[in-house]
Structure 1
Amino acid sequence: MSTDLSAVDEWKRWHEQRVETVSGPHGPLSLVGTHWLADYPEGQLPAIPGQWTEDGEEVVLRAAADDGLLLDGRPFAGEVRLGTDGGASASRVVLGERRLMVMRREGAWAVRDFDPASPARRAFQGIEATPYDADWSLPGRFSPYGSENTIQVENADGRARGLGLGGELAFQVGGVEHTLQATVEADGSLWAVFADASSGQGSYRFRFLRTPAPGADGRVTVDFNRVTLPPCAFADHFICPFPPPGNTLGFAVEAGERNLDGRSSV
């Protein structure tokens, strides 16, 4: 193991911020339901007042005053047309301390219910993570595909969905080159869903790797110290994609977030 004190301190701050984020009132641990509107044609969602129906590019919410919903911070009664929210913190509709986030995936609408009183949030003990090791911060190179390649992969909720892959991220471990297929985000950064030899045996069954946007020459730092658990490690109602074919590494990545404290690997 090799270390750099400034990098160690930065990693510690990153880890502390991650714990604060996931354990926040409306962080991943507070998700208690993802309700797909197509499964509720009458618009009555479990434990959520009002009538929620999809209408093309919008969701229509109808509610009475005694439903207790707030829209944009004010008591709501009547009908409103909603688009997608930018996350739980941007949810326009709330119920008490709960935030009801409107989302869309591949044309399908859903409402997510974030409740600060969730059992998962109350039981949270922390994130098990391996201390920073400079040997896991590796030089890499990204080779983009000619165009985005969308493949169907199984998601944590048992449904297959499209995963857009923009190229291959190459790096070496122990003098051997390995590659991961990665998604190119809107800001140019990379995101890869991967498993490794420790998955389910010391680490969660799969994890997320993110890198900054590669340089013009494709070079980028691949820092496994900042590998994160997927949202579905915190709540069963997330729809995280499983690793695509070829994204299971044959060695153990003993770095980054490994599991939730107090929980066995699954």
Structure 2
Amino acid sequence: MTTTQEPIDTAEFTREWEEWHAASQRALADPHGFLAVSSLNWLDAEPTRFPDAPGAWWTGPDGVWVELDEGEELALDGEPLRGQHHFGVLPERASLYVTAGAGVIEVAKRGGHDIVRPRHPDNPLLRDFTRTPAYAPDPRWALTGRYLPFEQPRPVTVGAAVEGLQHVYDSPGEIEFTLPDGGGTHRLTAFNGRLPGSLQVLFTDATSGVTTYAANRALTVPAPDGQGRVTVDFNRATNLPCAYTDLATCPLPPAENRLPAAVEAGERIPLERGGQP
């Protein structure tokens, strides 16, 4: 595959990257974001209490339940919950958020299992967070690629940061691009991104476990243009929550998304995992 790179204003490119990175750091430091997660609890049929969440929680064929004692209260969409409450059956990858004082309790389904994941603003991981180290932005890692859609979306099963857990995602197609400095042409399996038409790829490369997080990184790719061209800007490769905390169930990349070259761009190993500034 051959692509033509448009001339890039380096100063403007750097400014836009710095704005993007600052915004991503603000989102990461959200008082109820992933750094606020204080425990990961897998529900079963036995009502169970957790030290960082009100109530006794359990699940069954009819979904998730909580039983709140006298004086305990949660709120869902601003409405108070007292006594026994039935959350129902949650779809895969869905999350509900109930407030508990200054904290939030995430009720979710991951890999076919119902979980309760409390989030507290005073969690030490969040309290001590400063920033995520990253490679300096470099325009040569902002590549033009092309999107190769499948005739029909294909289900792809991937592993997870939690041993024994699996995720299944529909892949709409592949993204093809050529790495700089003779790094070769590659195709990565893509999943649907959060914004309509956008794509996301999970990948590892030769920096994984050396200067970048070993298990995975993620890259959002804006929607293809009318000719199927996409911008693959590895400067905006981000860590997933599992790079910061063991209380995450992040997906791992498909086997074909393991790049043999060193992608020295994007976010590096978090300081919380021994990364270097």
Check the 8 A contact 2:110/2:249 in 1, yes or no.
no
Mapping of 1:55-204 within 5 angstroms?
55-56=60-61, 58-73=63-78, 75-82=80-87, 91=97, 93-164=98-169, 165-174=171-180, 175=182, 176-185=184-193, 187-204=196-213
User: Aligned residue for 2:233?
Assistant: 223
User: Aligned residue for 2:4?
Assistant: none
User: Aligned residue for 1:8?
Assistant: 14
Mapping of 1:235-246 within 5 angstroms?
235-246=245-256
Query: Are residues 1:253 and 2:258 paired?
Result: no
Residue identity in the other structure for 1:196: D
TM-score using structure 1 length: 0.88
TM-score using structure 2 length: 0.85
Equivalent residue of 1:18, what SS?
helix
Q: 2:208 and 2:31 mapped to 1: Cα distance?
A: 29
User: Aligned residue for 2:46?
Assistant: 42
| Identity of matched residues, % | 35
1:42-69 Cα shifts (integer Å, max 9, x gaps): 2214222213233546422221332243
After TM superposition, give the deviation of residue 180 of structure 1 in Å. 1.0
After TM superposition, give the deviation of residue 141 of structure 1 in Å. 0.6
CA pair 253-57 structure 1, distance change in 2 beyond 3 A: farther
Check the 8 A contact 2:59/2:65 in 1, yes or no.
yes
After TM superposition, give the deviation of residue 107 of structure 1 in Å. 3.7
Equivalent residue of 1:64, what SS?
coil
Check the 8 A contact 1:23/1:29 in 2, yes or no.
yes
Equivalent residue of 1:181, what SS?
strand
Check the 8 A contact 2:144/2:232 in 1, yes or no.
yes
User: Aligned residue for 1:25?
Assistant: 31
Check the 8 A contact 1:125/1:260 in 2, yes or no.
no
Q: 2:224 and 2:49 mapped to 1: Cα distance?
A: 43
Unaligned runs of 5+ in 1: none
User: What CA RMSD, in Å, does the superposition of the two structures yield over aligned residues?
Assistant: 2.5
1:173-230 Cα shifts (integer Å, max 9, x gaps): 1352111111123622111110000001111112111101112432110011110001
Residue identity in the other structure for 1:203: T
Equivalent residue of 2:71, what SS?
helix
Unaligned runs of 5+ in 2: 1-7
Q: 1:179 and 1:226 mapped to 2: Cα distance?
A: 18
The total of aligned residue pairs comes to 261
1:72-111 Cα shifts (integer Å, max 9, x gaps): 44553223332559988x72x2222110011123442212
